[in-house]
Structure 1
Amino acid sequence: MLPADDAAELDWLAFEQSGVLTTAQATGLFSEGMVRGRIRSGRWRSICRGILLTGNGRLTRDQQLWVAVLTVGPGAVLAGVTAATEAGVRGLRRDPLHVLVPAARRAARTTLRRLPIDMPAVRVHRASILPPTHVQRARPPRTTTARALVDAAGWANGVDEAQSLLAAGCQQRRVLPEELGEVLDVLPRAPRRQLIRQTVSDIAGGAQALSEIDFVRLCRRHRLPVPNLQEHRVDAAGRIRWLDAYWREWRVQAEIDGAHHMDVRQWAADMRRQNDVWTSGDRILRFPAWLVRARPDEVAEAIRRALMAAGWTPAPPRSAVPRG
């Protein structure tokens, strides 16, 4: 609850930091003896060296975030998937907590130790470039959503996870592809920079799901024309429908089915949607997302045959092009 206007400084500080204080903050308000007395009596709780809780219960999520930031020290901000989650991006891993500190500042170990059992692991990252425009004024402070997702993609365990993070932020309308690109512009040495740049470009072109991003990469890798993504069409009832991928020049369309198509009712509804689309003269291809990723050569060959049947002529292999 919001403290009263005449509340003590401790009440306001505890409110702003969810009841988590540094020892220096506590001893700035009380004597060391009074602080030790509150801990011994059980009114307060010692979380780890230098960090106190003005209560004695289990740590809440907000308190865990404050412990992470205050333990790392001055200049620390929530970052990566932790900051993105706090910004409202859903479906991301909650643990460990990621914290970013300026590279010039000596911080604790990469992963903090000696934390209580109700505190998740804290992973510390260093940043040589962290302009004020990349920091969100929040409680606790965190990087902006765009910076958080770029960092998270660089720190991800693999390429698929990196692309999923970027796609999730854009698909949920928490960040724009242009904002991600602006962050990359000032981070010339960001991990996976080229991959992130290409993924952002694909998202800006309409690929907002990981399956669609994989589909665009597949087309480029097999030297197939890149389709228009999320193309809208009008069905027989005059309603606007959206196609996953459409080669307008050759009137070939492809639908990429995600995991939700394992639901028979959802699959039937989507089939009715596809059949209702005005497709006079169009060729329709349909691929499950897992096939795009597991058997790309098979998918590419099916696309190639459909495009060639519709009049597309593949470019000759580079080695076959005569030299002037």
Structure 2
Amino acid sequence: MPKKGESPRARSDRETNLRLVRRLGDAQGGVVSRDQLRGLGVSDHQLAADLAAHRWRAVHSQSVAVHTGPLDRLGQHWAAVFEAGDRGCLDGTSALIAGGLEHYTEDVVRVSVPRGVLVRRATGIDIRQTRRWEGGDLAPSGIPRTRPEVAGVRAALWAQSDKQATLLLTMTVQQGLTSAERFGAQLMRVRRHRRRTLVTTVVTDLLGGVRSLGEHEFAQMCRLRGLPEPTRQVVRRSPGGRWYLDVAWEPWGVVVEIDGIHHEWAVNVVADALRHNAIALDRAVVLRLPLLGLRVAPDEFFVQITEALVARGCPLVVAS
């Protein structure tokens, strides 16, 4: 609505500015920084008026939501970056999620800044100085964030538990955000950390072909029980197609299929049955191991696996 006494030129300029603000806000989850607003010609007086009229609302201290609805994840991420300042970037799990990681929920938005930068405090944001901050670690486009291989290693080091660290590394590779090789290169930069050994073990397993959290845990349990190292992600070809086996002891024809929650989905039932039958026709012993079973009853399942290997003539290794 035109303001009283406003000239046509001033009204046109204001409407142009508002269109630019809306366009920028659409690209940033509805959030625009106060510096961006000034750069687009929005005066402090006009900003105060829009906030007072509840057309816009302040987000933390450095940004404004140019709508009145809830902020989506993209808007929350941009608000966190603006709060950190010009050199702030999403890091750890937040950078992974912004880069496309699915089926994982962050507790707070993690933002990194170089040492010496002012750190502001805001609800739901964890802004921290890091000595590892380097400009070359940033993703080339989009919201300022570290590249997946950098973010994944840091997320694992900062995780609340070893299991969470393992999950984050595995999901990142499994969903194609980066590769185990790139994780390995980043890990070489970590000189000292209490979780460095664990992360090294997980990345080594990922390089060996493990494609799920269950397979990583399974490999560890084999070592603890003195079983021979199985081959992972073995490819089988038949007239019906190409099949990938989770783990296999090929010399003795024993296969273990580790079933995560995705195996319960209806779309996978037929494919899983066809794969199971194709392997059985190849005269291999196929044992099914639900991921839940690996959690709550590993000993019982490993008794069966050991029996299958012994029956096929496998000389077991004595655990030290």
Task: State the TM-score, normalizing by the size of structure 2.
Answer: 0.81
CA RMSD of aligned residues (A): 3.0
Output one character per residue of 1:142-190: Cα deviation in whole Å (capped at 9) or x when no partner: 0101112222222333222222222211112121101111111112235
Give 1:94 deviation, angstroms. 4.5
Q: 1: CA distance between counterparts of 2:166 and 2:319?
A: 30
Q: Which residue of 2 aligns with 1:3?
A: none
Q: 8 Å contact 1:78–1:142 — kept in the other structure? A: yes
Rounded to whole Å, the distance in 2 between the matches of 1:155 and 1:239 is: 42
Aligned pair in 2 of structure 1 residues 50, 219: CA closer, same or farther (>3 Å)? same
2:275 aligns to what? 273
Residues in 1 aligned to 2:271 and 2:52: alpha-carbon distance in whole angstroms: 63
Matched to 2:52, the amino acid is: R
Change in 2 beyond 3 A, CA 1:14/1:189:
farther
Secondary structure class of the residue paired with 1:46:
strand
SS of the residue corresponding to residue 165 of structure 2 reads helix
Deviations 1:32-59 (A, max 9, x none): 4444344334444322334334455543
Segments of 5+ residues of structure 1 without an aligned counterpart are 1-6, 114-120, 319-324
Query: Does residue 15 of the first structure (1) align with residue 21 of the second (2)?
Result: no
The Cα shift of 1:77 comes to: 0.6
SS of the equivalent of 1:187 reads: coil
Q: Which structure's residues are more often helix, by fraction? A: 2
Change (3 A) 1:31 1:195: same
Q: Determine if contact 2:17/2:42 at 8 Å carries over to the other structure.
A: no
1:157 aligns with 2:160: yes
Aligned-partner SS, 2:199: helix
Length-normalised TM-score, structure 1: 0.80
Identity percentage of aligned residues: 29
Alignment partners' CA distance in 1, 2:50 and 2:267: 60
* Structure 1 counterpart SS, 2:59: strand
CA distance in 2, matches of 1:297, 1:58: 48
1:103 corresponds to 2:115: yes
Matched with 2:183 is: 180
What SS class does the counterpart of residue 136 from structure 1 fall into? coil
Deviation at 1:201, TM superposition (A): 1.4
Structure 2 CA distance, aligned partners of 1:264 and 1:317? 40
1:258 matched to 2:260? The reply is yes
Q: Where does the alignment leave 5 or more consecutive residues of structure 2 unmatched?
A: 1-15
Hey, what's the Cα distance between the residues in 1 that align with 2:196 and 2:189?
A: 11
Q: CA deviation at 1:264?
A: 7.5
Corresponding residue for 1:306?
308
Alignment CA distance shift 1:61-1:284 (3 Å)? closer
The structure-2 alpha-carbon separation of the partners of 1:147 and 1:243, relative to structure 1 and needing over 3 Å to count, comes to: same
Number of equivalences: 302
